[in-house]
Structure 1
């Protein structure tokens, strides 16, 4: 009969195989849409309709999707109207998403620090009630706000402007940033603030010179989450823009023609839209991990 030590090792090995097998399966499920999108950008219409998946086995890759955007090797140095439009939409997405994320992180960090370090009383509301009020703004579906924002932006001449999208996106992600940063500041001992005040720093000095550097991982995590949400936002971008401030998600959704959806063009656009977020995630990975480890993201 096998010894107890042998049985324990067998159970340990089987357990690890099951765990890693489940992780690999979940990784495949999560990454398959990205793989499908990237490979579809190199397919022809027949390959798309027949569901060919594996390059060089099921189909031969071609540059049809990228050629339709003027981004293929044979068109990249030529004048291309689609490429000009793509660059314009790409710039709009960068300006609006980065601008809104930075503004939301700045305002959200200030609000979260106040809710974490000071006691507020507004009528019957205390700190936790104020925090819940902020996060409760996410309960409203965007379609409910469509008409009010449309009328407001028309009166303020903010329709089809980058600043209009930046302000709206900031309001959209601000509750999430406040929620994240409040937990981040709560994880930092109050004694650090008190020591800074004893050393002669003001409240602003303690916040900027002591607390913010410690909370940097949480700030980066909040910024990346805001960036992803604003970069992928479609509804308000389609509603409040016409030609000047239109973003990439709107351009991706417009890849339809009289014969149906141009899957190869849509896939190429989607791949180009995904790439910056992947690059930012890889570049700031260590900050994201630190933010998760300190409880910045729940």
Structure 2
């Protein structure tokens, strides 16, 4: 009887894991493919094409839907509003959350424990956003900020702030404190050590956190539909607008879905090396 090849069990395990990973990846990629295929179809092809709907095989693709949608003021306004709100909310959350994360990581507070403060920030994500829609709506109406990008920036920055604090707190804890102590000995002061030493070292994690909260704000629907109606319309609300009295216009929904997917995807591809460095900083200690 032939002996089992060394490592064959591990080899089959790796093959099985790879097959499972590929299957899961295809399941998540299928909606993207569906949107891409729908965006290239004529309206009649939406109901007559069978199978997977592969362009040039199952139907003749067209760019008419893209030209039509990208030429409408509503689509341009939605893309502009989503970009402004997402970038502004991410920058505001980083500006507020980074010093808070550094303070929790480096200082000790007498009244509350640092761990309790961190748990409090994290608990803000447990609060259902739907429970705050009416209070936020009434507050923005009182302030005259309904259907404005400024209101959406404030609300989204509030909800993504805990991500910044939790991610960057761990980053600052993983940074060697001796480097900052050397800066303090040289007379830099606490703010100087934070600004000149800790902040540059934490830049990859800040980039990773910034991309995560940008994507969360870009995809946010609940407050976008409650606070913004026309002037402050966002991309998710614009996608939902593909339903009219004739039913769901799949060809337009495909274009709008792709316009929602492409910007975060491009940013992720450009900043992927910073994301990997930021999320793995301190994961392996020497």
Shared fold per TM-score greater than 0.5: yes
Tell me, in whole angstroms, the C-alpha distance in 2 between the residues paired with 1:239 and 1:287: 34
Q: Is the 8 A contact 2:40 2:251 kept in 1?
A: yes
CA deviations over 1:70-112 (Å, ceiling 9, x no partner): x4xxxxxxxx4x2x22111111111100000011011111000
Point out the more displaced range, 267-276 or 287-296: 287-296
Indicate conservation of the 8 Å contact 1:160/1:245, yes or no. yes
Structure 2 counterparts to residues 113-132 of structure 1, below 5 A: 113-122=102-111, 125-132=112-119
Note closer, same or farther for the CA distance 1:173–1:126 as it changes in structure 2 (3 Å cut).
same
Deviations 1:192-218 (A, max 9, x none): 221110111111111111111111111
Q: What is the alpha-carbon distance in structure 1 between the residues aligned to residue 19 and residue 6 of structure 2?
A: 20
| Mapping 1:238-257, distance limit 5 Å | 238-257=225-244
Deviation at 1:26, TM superposition (A): 2.2
Other structure's SS at 2:233 match? coil
Shift of 1:47: 3.6
Distance in 1 of aligned mates of 2:6 and 2:27: 32
User: Please, which of 144, 149, 156 is the counterpart of residue 136 of structure 2?
Assistant: 149
Pairing 1:289–2:280 present: no
- Whole-angstrom distance in 2 between the partners of 1:262 and 1:206: 56
Aligned residues of 2:79 and 2:235 also touching (Cα < 8 A) = yes
Which structure 2 residue ranges, 5 or more long, are not aligned?
none
Aligned pair 1:31/2:29, yes or no? yes
Pairwise CA RMSD: 1.8
| Separation in structure 1 between the aligned mates of residue 116 and residue 8 of structure 2, nearest angstrom | 52
TM-score (norm 1): 0.89
Contact persistence 1:41–1:66 (CA under 8 A): yes
Between 1:34-43 and 1:94-103, the stretch displaced more is 34-43
Deviation by residue 1:177-198 (Cα, 9 ceiling, x = unmatched) = 1011111111112212211101
Distance 1:203 1:9 in 2: 54
SS at match of 2:124: helix
In structure 2, the residue matched to 1:179 is: 166
Structure 1: gaps of 5 or more residues: 72-79
Number of residue pairs matched? 281
Pairwise CA distance, 1:9? 5.3
Change (3 A) 1:295 1:159: farther
Give the 3-state SS of the residue equivalent to 2:188 in structure 1: coil
Residues 1:105 and 2:79 aligned together? no
